[in-house]
Structure formats: structure tokens, C-alpha cells
């Protein structure tokens, strides 16, 4: 039968490899971006954020890259581990001082 | 340090019944958000409070939904009467907003099933 609902992009990655998750945002007024990780049965968990005055920001095993010219955001995870398996959401603020708009999410599966 | 606390974690009710979801934000945060997550629509903002005052309720689906924040440490989201299409996971999030967008921290969610 026909599937309904959001069609989430998926990424399958070998344990130990690096992962890159991409996100295209829509609002050129957005000046704050954030990545969340959501494991099954849990709430979204903050990973890393970036403001529009930066192109790159690094955390522990994660790096966020922002390309404002093409309105593109990416999350790089180094040495992907089984615990990284989850749905990853990007969010933008659309220039608002409080509201976040969330993308549909990318499902990451780590192969042992 | 306790994160955002939500209760109940799971709620099963019958159509027409009143449902009340509860949230305790992170201490010191001045902003609270209620979201709904479904497979069809993803994460949707329902309502936003700042300093206990509702600022943006444009996401509240209809009059059956109401939210209150009587003090800085407690908020409720009420659905009366509930309908099967209200079945979803409801998240509460809190943030410290000081003139610019900042990180929202989410609770574990309440999974609501309306039969």
C-alpha cells in the first residue's frame, strides 16, 4: 500500500567511519541553527548549535558547518559509534528570538 | 542537575475524556514550549510561554487545547474533549531566552493514545 507520513532520509554508516548529515534550510533570515539527536522513545537531545556569524563549530566528535550562501547546514560525526544510531534533526530560528522550525529528520543507523 | 520533567510518560484514554499533561521546566529558565510530534507532521510548536505569559499560541490546533503556566516551575497542557487524532507524543521544552534564540532542552515526552 501507499506509505503516508514524513519520508525521512536515512544514512547507514559503518562503525568507526565518519558520518555527514545534511540539512537545507529555507529562511534566509535565520541566524541560529541547532542539531538535535532523538533516540527511540526519548525527547530530542541537544548536540551542537551555531550562529550565523560563524561557518564552523566543533564539539566532542561533532562538527557543524554552515553555508549561508546556499542555505545549507551539515553535521559531521567522527568515528561513529553504535550509540549514535538515532534520528537527527536540524532546526532554524527564522530570525525569531525564540521559535525553532524543525526539519523532518535523518535516521542514522550504525552497522557493527 | 534535573532536566525538563514531564508526567505522565504514557497516557491512554478514551475519546471524549479530558487529558492533562504536566511539565516542570529547568530551574532558572524563563521560556517554556509545548510541542507535538507525529509521523505525519513531525515536531510542531503548539505554544510558547515567556516569564509565565503565553506569547505565541498560534500552533494550538483548536479550542479543545489549552495551556497554562501558573508559575515558573509548572505548566499544563489540557485537551478537552480528546479525540483519536490527538494521539501523538507531546514534548515540553525550556530555554533561557535573553534577547536571542537559545538552546531549547526537551523533556522525555508524554505518549498520548486516544482510543
> Which residues of chain B are within 8 Å of residue A100 when distances are taken between CB atoms?
45, 101, 104
Q: State pLDDT tens for residues B45-81.
A: 999 999 999 999 999 988 999 999 999 999 999 999 9
Is B75 within 8 Å of B5 (Cβ atoms)? Answer: no
> Which residues of chain B are within 8 Å of residue A99 when distances are taken between CB atoms?
45, 48, 56, 101
Would you list the DSSP string of A13-54?
EETTS-EEEEEE---TT--EEEEEEE-TTS--EEEEEEETT-
Is B100 within 8 Å of A32 (Cβ atoms)? Answer: yes
For residue B1, the model assigns a pLDDT of 63
The residue in chain B having the minimum alpha-carbon distance to the alpha carbon of residue A49 is: B103
Interface of A with B (CB under 8 A): 4-6, 31-32, 34, 36, 42-46, 49, 89, 93, 96-100, 102-105
Task: Check A6 against B100: CB less than 8 A apart.
Answer: no
Task: Check A98 against B55: CB less than 8 A apart.
Answer: yes
Cα B31 off chain centre by: 12
Helix (H, G, I), strand (E, B), or coil: what is residue B84?
Answer: helix
Residue A4 scores a pLDDT above 60:
no
The residue in chain A having the minimum alpha-carbon distance to the alpha carbon of residue B50 is: A98
Reported as a pLDDT band with limits 50, 70 and 90, residue A95 is confident
Residue A18 scores a pLDDT above 80:
yes
Amino acid at each position: 500500500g501507499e506509505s503516508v507520513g514524513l519520508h525521512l532520509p536515512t544514512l547507514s554508516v559503518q562503525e568507526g567511519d565518519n558520518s555527514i548529515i545534511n540539512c537545507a534550510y529555507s529562511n534566509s533570515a535565520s541566524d541560529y541553527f541547532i542539531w538535535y539527536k532523538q533516540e527511540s522513545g526519548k525527547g530530542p537531545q541537544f548536540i551542537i548549535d551555531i550562529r550565523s556569524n560563524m561557518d564552523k563549530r566543533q564539539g566532542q566528535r561533532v562538527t557543524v558547518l554552515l553555508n549561508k550562501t546556499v542555505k545549507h547546514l551539515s553535521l559531521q560525526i567522527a568515528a561513529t559509534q553504535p550509540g549514535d544510531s538515532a534520528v537527527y534533526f536540524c532546526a532554524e530560528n527564522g530570525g525569531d528570538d525564540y521559535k525553532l522550525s524543525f526539519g523532518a529528520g535523518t535516521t542514522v543507523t550504525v552497522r557493527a | 542537575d534535573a532536566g525538563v520533567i514531564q508526567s505522565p510518560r504514557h497516557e491512554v484514554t478514551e475519546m471524549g475524556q479530558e487529558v492533562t499533561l504536566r511539565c516542570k521546566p529547568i530551574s532558572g529558565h524563563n521560556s517554556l514550549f509545548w510541542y507535538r510530534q507525529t509521523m505525519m507532521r513531525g515536531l510542531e510548536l503548539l505554544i510558547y510561554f515567556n516569564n509565565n505569559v503565553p506569547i505565541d499560541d498560534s500552533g494550538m490546533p483548536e479550542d479543545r487545547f489549552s495551556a497554562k503556566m501558573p508559575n515558573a516551575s509548572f505548566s499544563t497542557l489540557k485537551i478537552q474533549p480528546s479525540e483519536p487524532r490527538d494521539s501523538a507524543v507531546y514534548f515540553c521544552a525550556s530555554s533561557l531566552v535573553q534577547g536571542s534564540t537559545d538552546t531549547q532542552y526537551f523533556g522525555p515526552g508524554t505518549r498520548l493514545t486516544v482510543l
